[in-house]
């Protein structure tokens, strides 16, 4: 009688940071003092063992609010040294690198700081400046706000549109890789209610309230909602700017209305509100990033964080300046500067801090599925 074939399960070698998360979660799972905190802890209590997929999932589920660190009786200087925010932040950065597409570009996440962003912006500025010079464009002429007198509409639409779409395709492929690894244990699939619940948690930034509604811990044990507020300004500022672009596209292609649009028009109003949000939010987040308790452990992400914040600021400030001074002789130069910052932003979409929102959204979707299936099993 032949013996049945043995199933060989490959053993995944965890990184040092992943091992640190695994050990911390095992201690937390025994303690459970923070069980009512953010989504990480309900997800943790559903597991007895933690695979690499579990660790990647929960690292991106963590919002780094700091509540568990300040509540933990095993946090440093205790010999166990449990520091969930620090451990999760380190693994989170590793996941961005691991799931990047192309994989060889993963290391860019470590380098997308202010220096790289500045160099890229200056490079694109010089390239576009050279293009206008070769075209014989008067950089200090008055164009009555007509941007297309500097660069043709079709040129801008094809160039920036193709880069934007390509960037989101690469980011999407990375998110798909992350989803496949972390969600292979969801046989029931994703229900509509899961999507609604995850979307609600994303749009309200639910877990930046610490899980208890009081907010994050920034510099000390005091709770504050300020980090959540500045994230809201940033997120909705970006969405309003994106919506302004969509509306302007509809105006151009479907109604034959070409820029420049009046200050009272919908694209300008949406863009102005979005631009203001992208000034207030990033300035606040930069301040919090500088003042943040180093125990939260996101020091390795700070170059990426600050590079992204800086980029959002220069995109929004140059965009607002372009709108204000579009009827002056400064318009052409401001347009070139703004377009250079936008191109830098587009190119760094798959390999910078912008990606974290999408990884976290995928983790929140899986969390919604787990919560629904857990409730259905208890009925």
pLDDT band at 210 (very low <50, low <70, confident <90, very high): confident
Indicate whether 3 pLDDT > 60: no
Mean pLDDT (whole number) for 330-357:
95
What are residue 216's DSSP bridge partners? Answer: 224
pLDDT band at 379 (very low <50, low <70, confident <90, very high): low
Question: What confidence score (pLDDT) does residue 78 get?
Answer: 92
Question: What confidence score (pLDDT) does residue 179 get?
Answer: 94
Instruction: Tell me if 46 sits within 8 A of 61, measured CB to CB.
Output: no
Question: What confidence score (pLDDT) does residue 197 get?
Answer: 96
Question: What confidence score (pLDDT) does residue 144 get?
Answer: 86
Mean pLDDT (whole number) for 235-255:
95
Q: Which residues contact 231 (CB under 8 A, 6 or more apart)?
A: 205, 208, 281, 285
Q: Return mean pLDDT, the chain.
A: 90
Q: Output 186 or 374, whichever has higher pLDDT.
A: 374
What are the Cα distances from residue 94, in Å, to 14, 114, 309?
11, 20, 20
pLDDT tens-place string over residues 142-171? 888 889 999 999 999 999 999 999 999 999
Find the range with the poorest average confidence among 9-18, 125-134, 318-327, 355-364: 9-18
Q: Output 297 or 94, whichever has higher pLDDT.
A: 94
Mean pLDDT (whole number) for 184-206:
87
d(CA 366, CA 190): 8
Question: What confidence score (pLDDT) does residue 299 get?
Answer: 75
Instruction: Tell me if 177 sits within 8 A of 359, measured CB to CB.
Output: no
pLDDT tens-place string over residues 49-101? 999 999 999 999 999 888 888 888 998 889 998 999 999 999 999 999 999 99
Structural domain boundaries in the chain: 108-181+209-354
Find the range with the poorest average confidence among 92-96, 245-249, 290-294, 304-308: 290-294
Question: What confidence score (pLDDT) does residue 185 get?
Answer: 60
Mean pLDDT (whole number) for 283-298:
85
Indicate whether 1 pLDDT > 80: no
Indicate whether 10 pLDDT > 60: no
Question: What confidence score (pLDDT) does residue 6 get?
Answer: 47
Structure-token pair, residue 135: 């075209």
The percent of residues above 70 in pLDDT, for the chain, comes to 94
Question: What confidence score (pLDDT) does residue 296 get?
Answer: 77
Mean pLDDT (whole number) for 93-110:
91
pLDDT tens-place string over residues 345-373? 999 999 999 999 999 999 999 999 999 98
Indicate whether 341 pLDDT > 70: yes
Indicate whether 8 pLDDT > 60: no
Structure-token pair, residue 150: 């500097």
Helix boundaries (H) for 8-113: 16-31, 40-45, 52-61, 67-71, 84-98
């Amino acid at each position: 009688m032949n013996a049945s074939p043995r199933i060989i399960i490959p053993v995944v070698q965890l990184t040092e940071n992943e091992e640190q998360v695994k050990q911390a979660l095992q201690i937390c799972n025994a303690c459970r003092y923070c069980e009512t905190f953010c989504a990480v802890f309900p997800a943790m209590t559903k597991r007895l063992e933690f695979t690499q997929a579990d660790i990647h999932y929960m690292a991106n589920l963590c919002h780094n609010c700091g509540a568990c660190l300040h509540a933990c009786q095993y946090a440093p200087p205790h010999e166990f040294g449990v520091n969930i925010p620090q451990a999760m932040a380190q693994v989170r950065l590793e996941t961005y690198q691991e799931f990047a597409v192309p994989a060889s570009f993963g290391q860019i996440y470590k380098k997308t700081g202010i220096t790289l962003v500045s160099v890229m912006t200056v490079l694109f500025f010089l390239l576009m400046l050279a293009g206008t010079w070769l075209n014989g464009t008067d950089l200090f002429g008055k164009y009555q706000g007509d941007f297309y007198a500097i660069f043709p509409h079709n040129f801008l639409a094809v160039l920036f549109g193709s880069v934007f779409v390509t960037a989101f395709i690469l980011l999407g492929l990375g998110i798909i890789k992350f989803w496949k690894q972390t969600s292979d244990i969801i046989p029931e699939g994703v229900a509509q209610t899961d999507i609604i619940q995850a979307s609600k948690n994303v749009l309200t930034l639910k877990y930046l309230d610490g899980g208890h509604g009081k907010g994050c811990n920034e510099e000390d044990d005091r709770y504050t909602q300020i980090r959540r507020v500045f994230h809201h300004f940033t997120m909705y500022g970006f969405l309003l700017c994106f919506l302004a672009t969509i509306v302007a596209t509809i105006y151009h292609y479907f109604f034959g209305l070409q820029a420049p649009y009046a200050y009272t028009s919908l694209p300008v109003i949406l863009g102005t509100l979005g631009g203001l949000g992208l000034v207030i939010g990033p300035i606040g987040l930069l301040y919090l990033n500088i003042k943040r308790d180093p125990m939260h452990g996101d020091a390795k992400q700070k170059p990426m964080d600050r590079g992204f914040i800086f980029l959002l600021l220069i995109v929004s400030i140059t965009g607002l300046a372009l709108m204000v001074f579009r009827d002056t002789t400064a318009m052409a130069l401001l347009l070139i500067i703004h377009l250079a910052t936008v191109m830098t932003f587009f190119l760094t979409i798959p390999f910078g801090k912008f990606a974290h929102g999408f990884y976290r959204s995928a983790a929140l979707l899986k969390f919604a599925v787990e919560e629904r299936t857990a409730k259905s099993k208890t009925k």
